[in-house]
Amino acid sequence: MRTWANARPAALTYREVVAAHLEVLTEFIDPAAGTASQLDLVGSVLGEWADEPVSRWDQHHSFAANDGSPVEFSFAMSRCAAEARLLFEPLDPTRPATSQAGHQFIARLDDVGVDVSRFRRVEDLFAGPWSGPFSMLCSAALKATGSPLFKVYLNPTVGGRAPQEVVEAAMSRLGLGAPWSRVAAQLGGFGLPSKEIALFALDLGHSSDARVKVYLRHTACGPEAVERVAELADDHQPDLFAKILGRLYGGSAGSLAKAPMTCLSFQGNRPASVTLYCPLDPNVGNDLEASARVVDLLEMAGIAPELFSALATAISGPDLARGRRLSWLSYKRPADPVVTIYAGLDGPQAT
C-alpha cells in the first residue's frame, strides 16, 4: 500500500493510516484549529480491525475507496472554510463479510454520547446477509469547533429485498414516508439503471439539522436524468448540474466508465438539498487532468483553488500526471457552494 506524498511513512495499521492522513488534511486546512481532541475521538471509535496489520486486509476489496482500501479521505471547501473527512468500512477480522463490525461501531458511538436513536429505528431493515459490495460504511467530518459529525451509509440491497422497498420502510419509520412517496411518484420509481438507489444514509447526533439521505446512481443516461432528480430539492438551481457535468466530461456524461450519483438530503419533512457526485477516476486519465477540472469548478463556484492545489500535490506528489488518487468530486448548495474532493490511498499509476 502506498500513502500520500506528504503523509508520515511506515503506517503499519489502518489506525496509523487514518491518523497520518487526517493530520495532512488538518495541517493544510488550518494548523491552528483545535482538532486534536476530534482526531482522538475518531481514533477511539474505529474498532479493533484498525489495529490489524494493513496487509491483513489486502484480499478484502472495500467499497469505501476506488483502490479497495477500507478508508478514503476527503476535504470539503466553501468560500470561507474547509473541513477534513474520513470514510471507512468497519471490518471484522474473523468474518470480513458481515455487518457485525458496523453495529459494534454504532455501539461505541453510543458509549461516547453520540445520539444513534434514528439508526436504531431502522437498523433491522439493514441487517443480515446482503447482495452487493458492503453492508455499512461510516464517516466522520471534523468541525472547526465541537465534536465530529458522524454519519452512517447503509446498503439497501440487504436480505435480497428490492432497494426501493427497504428505503420506503426506513423512510416511513423516520416519519418521512409521505415526502418519500412524492419523490418516488415524481420520478416514476427506481427500477432503471438511470435512477438506481445506491445508498441510504443518516447523520448521527441530536442536531436539528441532521439529515436523512438517499443516493441515486445514474448509469448510461444524460444530464437530463440528473436534472429530474435535482429539481425535486428545495435548493435546485435549473440546469446547474447539467452545466457541471458538461464542464467535467464534455459530451460523454452518458457513457462514463463510472456513473455519477445524486443525493437527496431530507431535513424536516422535505428534500431540502441535492448533491451531485462526479467520479474522477476512472473517467479522467490522471490527477493532473482531474486537478484542472476541479480548479475550473472551484472557480465557477467562487471558491479560491489554492488550498485544493496545495493538497493535490500533498496527496499525489509534484508530478500529478503520474497519480490517480483523486477519485470523486461533489457539489452542493448553489447559493453558497460546497465542493468536496475525495482521495484514495493508492490508485493505479497513470501511464
Answer yes or no: is 62 within a domain: yes
Answer yes or no: is 102 within a domain: yes
Answer yes or no: is 96 within a domain: yes
3-state secondary structure 300-348: HHCCCCHHHHHHHHHHHCCCHHHCCCEEEEEEECCCCCEEEEEECCCCC
Q: Which alpha helices (DSSP H) does the chain contain, by range? A: 14-29, 36-45, 100-111, 117-122, 163-173, 177-187, 223-230, 240-249, 287-301, 306-316
pTM: 0.95
Answer yes or no: is 301 within a domain: no
Quick one: cell of 263? 443525493
Count of C-beta atoms within a 10 Å radius of residue 224: 11
Q: What residue numbers bound the domain in which 251 lies? A: 15-72+85-284
Q: Give the number of domains in the chain.
A: 1
Answer yes or no: is 111 within a domain: yes
Distance CA 77, CA 305 (A): 9
Q: Which residue has the cell 474522477?
A: 280
> Tens-of-pLDDT digits for all 351 residues of the chain?
568 988 877 778 999 999 999 999 999 998 877 789 999 999 999 999 999 999 888 888 899 999 999 999 999 999 999 999 999 999 987 765 567 889 999 999 999 999 999 999 999 999 876 566 678 999 999 998 889 999 999 999 877 789 999 999 999 999 999 999 999 999 998 989 999 999 999 999 999 899 999 999 999 999 999 999 999 999 999 999 999 999 999 988 889 999 999 999 999 899 999 999 999 999 999 999 999 999 999 999 999 999 999 999 999 999 999 999 999 999 999 999 999 999 999 855 555
3-state secondary structure 209-242: CCCEEEEEECCCCCHHHHHHHHCCCCCCCCCHHH
Contact 204, 119 (CB under 8 A): yes
